[in-house]
Amino acid sequence: MAWPAVKKFLTPQQFREHANTLDFSTWRPIGIVIHNTAEPTLKRWHEVPRERWMDNLESYYKGLGWNGGPHLFIDDGEDGIGLFNPLNRRGTHSPSFNAQWLGFEHVGDYAKEDDDAGPGLKVKLNGIAAMAIVCAKLGIDPRTHIKLHKEDPRTDHDCPGKDMAEDKEKIIDAVVEYMGHGGDHGPNWGHVVDPPATAPGPTPAPTEPVATLVVNTEGLNLRERSSQGSRSMAQLAKGMGLAEISAAVMNGATRWLHVRAMALGKEGWISAKYASKWEPPATDTVVVPRPSDADSVVFHVEGKMSTFGGPEDDGMSKTEGLAIFETSEEAQANDAADFFMPAFEAGAEGLGRRLRAEKLYVACRWNYQETLRAFLQDAVAHVSANGRTVLMRPMDWGPHEDTGRVADLSPGGAEALGLSTDDTCSVTVYKSGK
């Protein structure tokens, strides 16, 4: 069967938009393998139009009789993420990993060419962006499911070259960081602008600070330092209370505030334009308890809900899977096998329609930096409404933002909380996962 080579180059933002359009219900990869082309070298790549290279590569792989090729060819251009094999279709790139892993080729020979400066560094940064976008989309844990080609026991290739191989841990750290801030300062985000060298403000008293500000946008990054390039430690929900704990500073044209996110028990920096003055209720005093370190919040949303899953859910196809548990084996390994009925009983192969609707489970738009898929597989979410709280197992990612809802519950979970579609609930996951 002929396989369609895409042969299109995208910027990181365009690649993110492309990935979000794809349906992974037929083939859903579990990890990413890092390759380098070796031949062509990066120098030779630039001697021929890259579109011609993609045509030549397609002819080469088809001449080998392969049913696919690597999924991406990544070069040093601003639009340097080159689509080749469709991301949602099995490719061919590494014998042991072909069945379930994506193959990302980095253009160059990184046994000889430098990946820490010049064009080679741009290739690596584009690769980091591509891996972060895919990991966030599919809930892949980069710390366990990004591999080097040379780690395949069935290959003798020294790929992706010693220079890039030596940087594996740094690359993975950068992928995790990129997932946290969403690439909001572009593909060349590796530089960090340090905050002004001013003396810190006075140390706050050892009492719980009072919320004087409120977040006025959804998904605001709480950063480690007063810099757009600094690491994001958490994403703050719209309406979350903040306490200003030291004097504001300027970094370029941006005014930064040093704050405590009350519900998370975390301190960091935010851009001042995304916080408004806190207006407490006229009568009642609002007290937000600070959780203990053991039970600190890593995910919290509040808003409208709906229901999903089970044989009667016509909104899911009969083959549609789940983001948290991709296979029955994963569910079994995490003591969640009893959430699913056999395929013959459900009349469907996909795990979405095989869910037992009476069970207690939930889907949210999880922040995969704070709540990686591996963490969610063994965690419970505290779902609250109507003065009650029910513990539910995370099962999927959703609902889509266009719905205006923040959570999808099992029909059984909705019943337990006395909820109907578009009623309001809150979902909280703690650091302990319990």
Do 361 and 309 touch, CB atoms closer than 8 A? Answer: yes
Fold equal for 213-290 and 295-430: no
User: 73 forms bridges with which residues in the sheet?
Assistant: 82, 105
Q: How far apart are CA 376 and CA 355, in angstroms?
A: 17
CATH (residue range 213-290): 2.30.30.40
- The CATH number given to 8-181 is 3.40.80.10
Rounded to two decimals, what is the model's pTM? 0.49
CA angle 141, 313, 301 (to 5 degrees): 50
pLDDT (tens place) for every residue of the chain, 434 residues total: 567 789 999 999 899 999 999 999 899 999 999 999 999 999 999 998 999 999 999 988 888 888 899 999 999 999 999 999 999 999 999 999 999 999 999 999 999 999 888 899 999 999 999 999 999 889 898 999 999 999 999 988 899 999 999 999 989 988 887 776 544 433 333 332 233 334 344 443 444 456 678 888 877 888 888 877 778 888 877 777 788 876 677 776 778 888 887 666 688 889 888 888 865 433 333 333 334 444 578 899 999 999 999 998 988 998 999 999 988 888 888 889 889 988 877 888 899 999 999 899 999 999 877 788 889 999 999 999 888 888 899 999 999 888 999 999 999 888 888 899 999 999 999 888 87
* pLDDT (tens digit per residue) in 46-102: 998 999 999 999 988 888 888 899 999 999 999 999 999 999 999 999 999 999 999
Token digits of residue 293:
């370190």
Kindly list the domain boundaries of the chain, sorted by start residue. 8-181, 213-290, 295-430
What residues pair up with 103 in beta bridges, in sequence order? 33
* Residue 164: φ, ψ to 5°: -70, -35
CA distances from 22 to 25, 133, 408 (A): 9, 13, 21
Q: Which residues are within 8 A (CB) of 210 and not within 5 positions of it... i.e. 6 or more apart? A: 243
Alpha carbon of 264 to those of 227, 248, 291: distances in Å?
A: 21, 21, 7
Q: How far apart are CA 95 and CA 98, in angstroms?
A: 6
Q: Return d(Cα 27, Cα 423) in angstroms, integer.
A: 34
Would you state the structure tokens that stand for residue 346, as one six-digit string? 């459900």
Query: Around Cβ 142, how many Cβ atoms within 10 Å?
Result: 25
**CA nearest neighbour of 68 among 88, 53, 96:** 88
Is the N-terminal amide bond of 195 cis, ω within 30° of 0? no
d(CA 27, CA 174): 27
CATH number for the domain whose boundaries are 295-430: 2.40.40.10
Alpha carbons 377 and 393: distance in angstroms, whole number: 8
